[in-house]
Structure 1
């Protein structure tokens, strides 16, 4: 018995040892496999990063600053450089031509087919879109402001027939689409008709334009001052951040059109120096931005000061529920609504968008490298956007230390300094400007060849408006954007904007995911019910007090 047991033990012991050795070998194999997989992943990641860097280089090479606006500033040196590039240059040219073709196709879709008109009695032949300025049958002095344009822009051609007929109007169109003259020319005609009927001397304005920012208010005033001069129309612009004295004097000397920001205008009304009782033509420009900035109480208060019988005009890049609610309260039950392009968020298709995922510490060096490319002549206009006022001052100082001639516009600067900086940027004296989002909306700065987003904005809407500072009036532009880990919550919306515009979506951006976060109410967070466009108006409920005790 003992002998058999010993034999059994002798047999089983090697088996046990071989099992243990096998287990160790299996573990070693698993470790080796894991190590190989990690090495493979790191190699793939490196290849992706290299591919991403190569993609960005190709995009940059395809878009020389002189080619953005189609200007011929090339020299013999640049020609030799292009010849040396050989096949690489050909591939980048092919990339650029594909991008241009895509943009041209999209542009044709917008101008030819993507205009939606809705509202009561909009199919009448008298409301047909205008194909030329002559079809509007307006006096020459009114059309003097349009002499530099060959034909009306899409928003102008669709808006003028309705606005000249006195209809309440909602216009949804991208930045740089000619919105100011879309409401400016009908405003001049409105004033002309009123003055012909009433020959007595008038001191109060007939037209009001509300704007969310001082810079946009000044820009609208510049356009309407030039347009109204041949017609004898007097325009006054009022905004905060500067002395009230000159603005009060201008109002007292007589005015036809008042353009202003809600806060300053409300102050002047309460002081009794601005009376809006005769205003019968009201424009809310960038209405969505105005409400986003918290001006809704001031806007409501101001609108109540105007004539009860008035023509209301709203222009907005998007159509959120808050703007829809305001339109319901102060407009006709079913106003004319013209959407050029898309009611949803969409970027200008004439802008090449390059998005680069970076770490915070590498942004300064990358910004300088891009400026050396896009701003090497230091003559072409380049606009750099940052997020915060202190960041604007820091980046400005950093670039000045490195020898760049630069100005800045942000909230910590006095209005006089902001106006001066914008003026230097516009006239080309200092064609490099750092700005916060005060310069993102509505500003029409000619020939901005490149926009660089040093910091990504808080919303993708602001991103769309930022890059809209270039590629205006049919010209081409480039927007180069730095995207960081902390911005990952906006990656999904940004991907959608890039795809809609036919732009290349970098792999590094896709790694953050394509989920689009639900919009939140500023008051109630995510726990609120959105108002749909066809929602009925709220009902006032009255309670019978017959059961109350005396």
Structure 2
């Protein structure tokens, strides 16, 4: 009845996913067959490995972004990649990747990591955080003559990198593979939804840099295929998410695994676009006491290169509003974010029925389907991608023109990550959010703060909602850095303080990634 009985125009993949979603929710919870999926072999030619998209017209604005480094005796920032002391191999790969000059997080992060300091880095999404930690790690491994040990039953990587979703960790791996091209350092990636046997065979061929999601990492360690005694670098990307209420136990299990060096005997690096104070306090358990905190620009705030628009809606008018929006503004590379997996399938099916080529990605889709959905979106075959929070963080998809928040998230940090899928690397983008006063009122104050920081127009009705909501005391004062080092005292903080983030919200986000 949701679609008047007419699903003939839906793509087979979306309809299958919709059926599986309903079937799983209402009929039974199957244990599922053994995962046998093996991803396609990656291309080895240089053109494919070093493919990149150009920086946007606002890239030079990065030079004007304020940076705050707190902690004792931070090293001097670099101004060019030549000052980074990279070996010839890395200098070539940096050049082939299209990097001309370092971004602020790279200018400060690279020398901090090269100096052996622990780091908590906070910078807007799309600002070059991945290269900021990969380049100094690979440089040190190469300088020490590290080489992959082939065909060993037990591999002992020197670096372990953890991220919350399969798509993000695979993206980090591809970057590591690119920078390590033509060297003796070998990165490997492990994540759920793919044949464990296939990944173990890849590990046994040699592994210096192991990238993984927490569940699969713990699995291969528990099987005795990976030892941790040689780990020198432990990296958490999207660190705030990795330490939230859903992921924290797995992180503690990982650092407590047999052989894992203590925090005093390894270098721990954390990167994210948002750092609530409670996460900073928790992160201190994983870092040396003299760690440095790097805050770049209005971190935790939304990128000013993204035009943010809000539309006041009711719950039952959202679908029609979305369709009108897509037909009015065009469908060129648009990501639509919804709150639940089932909603993702229903909205994708609805848009397909309305002749809008659409695909969806969420935690209940098989890994093969998730990868196909991203491939169809990247290629333009399906220019609209409906997604849950599984796609909100870190995904670097070229030329995403629009982000639509069909459902606003439960907390402001997730909003920042979502709209960061567009307006990346100096390019401009647009984000449109549907605001339902009946369900989104608790987010109003935080949204007004975010819009003000990014010099965006604040709708009068949204400001009224912010001031008139239950317990409202007005909008939080502006700060240059939305997330500050909590060690500084009460002036530190983030816009997270203005929002509601319940345990159920954190658990919902955690459930988006199956760990098997």
TM range (shorter): 0.7 to 0.9
Find out whether 1:287 has 2:239 as its counterpart.
yes
Between Structure 1 and Structure 2, whose CA radius of gyration is higher?
1
Deviations 1:455-511 (A, max 9, x none): 111111111111100000101100011100211111111111111111111122223
Aligned length: 415
Cα distance in 2, alignment partners of residues 119 and 399 from structure 1: 51
Tell me which residue corresponds to 2:435.
483
Instruction: Find 1:181's aligned residue among 131, 140, 146.
Output: 131
In the TM superposition, residue 532 of structure 1 has moved relative to its aligned partner by 5.7
Instruction: Find 1:255's aligned residue among 207, 222, 232.
Output: 207
Cα distance in 2, alignment partners of residues 198 and 402 from structure 1: 52
In the TM superposition, residue 406 of structure 1 has moved relative to its aligned partner by 1.0
Instruction: Find 2:161's aligned residue among 186, 209, 230.
Output: 209
Give the alignment of 1:67-86 within 5 angstroms.
none
Q: Are the equivalent residues in 2 in contact too, given 1:451–1:469 (CA < 8 A)?
A: yes
Q: Are the equivalent residues in 1 in contact too, given 2:311–2:435 (CA < 8 A)?
A: yes
Find out whether 1:274 has 2:274 as its counterpart.
no
SS in 1 for 2:269: strand
Cα distance in 2, alignment partners of residues 173 and 362 from structure 1: 36
In the TM superposition, residue 452 of structure 1 has moved relative to its aligned partner by 1.0
Tell me which residue corresponds to 1:77.
none
SS in 2 for 1:512: helix
Instruction: Find 1:329's aligned residue among 285, 289, 301.
Output: 285
Instruction: Find 2:374's aligned residue among 407, 422, 441.
Output: 422
Tell me which residue corresponds to 1:132.
80
Tell me which residue corresponds to 1:542.
none
Q: Unaligned 5+ residue runs, structure 2?
A: 1-53, 472-484, 490-516
TM-score normalised by L of structure 1:
0.71
Change (3 A) 1:368 1:142: same
Cα distance in 2, alignment partners of residues 490 and 364 from structure 1: 21
TM-score normalised by L of structure 2:
0.75
Q: Are the equivalent residues in 1 in contact too, given 2:147–2:184 (CA < 8 A)?
A: no
Q: Are the equivalent residues in 2 in contact too, given 1:209–1:259 (CA < 8 A)?
A: yes
Tell me which residue corresponds to 1:18.
none
SS in 2 for 1:129: coil
Q: Are the equivalent residues in 1 in contact too, given 2:151–2:206 (CA < 8 A)?
A: no
Deviations 1:330-386 (A, max 9, x none): 32211122110145x3001100000011112221222111111332xx5x3111111
SS in 1 for 2:294: strand
Deviations 1:12-49 (A, max 9, x none): xxxxxxxxxxxxxxxxxxxxxxxxxxxxxxxxxxxxxx
Q: Are the equivalent residues in 1 in contact too, given 2:165–2:213 (CA < 8 A)?
A: yes
SS in 1 for 2:79: coil
Find out whether 1:154 has 2:107 as its counterpart.
no
Change (3 A) 1:130 1:399: same
Tell me which residue corresponds to 2:307.
352
In the TM superposition, residue 429 of structure 1 has moved relative to its aligned partner by 2.6
In the TM superposition, residue 196 of structure 1 has moved relative to its aligned partner by 5.4
Cα distance in 1, alignment partners of residues 429 and 345 from structure 2: 26
Q: Are the equivalent residues in 2 in contact too, given 1:190–1:281 (CA < 8 A)?
A: no
Q: Are the equivalent residues in 2 in contact too, given 1:119–1:337 (CA < 8 A)?
A: yes
Q: Are the equivalent residues in 2 in contact too, given 1:493–1:516 (CA < 8 A)?
A: no
Find out whether 1:371 has 2:326 as its counterpart.
yes
Tell me which residue corresponds to 2:387.
435
Give the alignment of 1:446-525 within 5 angstroms.
446-485=398-437, 486-514=439-467
The one of the two structures with greater contact order (alpha-carbon pairs below 8 A, sep at least 6) is 2
Structure with the higher fraction of residues in helix conformation: 1
In the TM superposition, residue 115 of structure 1 has moved relative to its aligned partner by 0.2
Tell me which residue corresponds to 2:47.
none
Q: Unaligned 5+ residue runs, structure 1?
A: 1-68, 72-99, 519-530, 536-550
Change (3 A) 1:517 1:248: farther
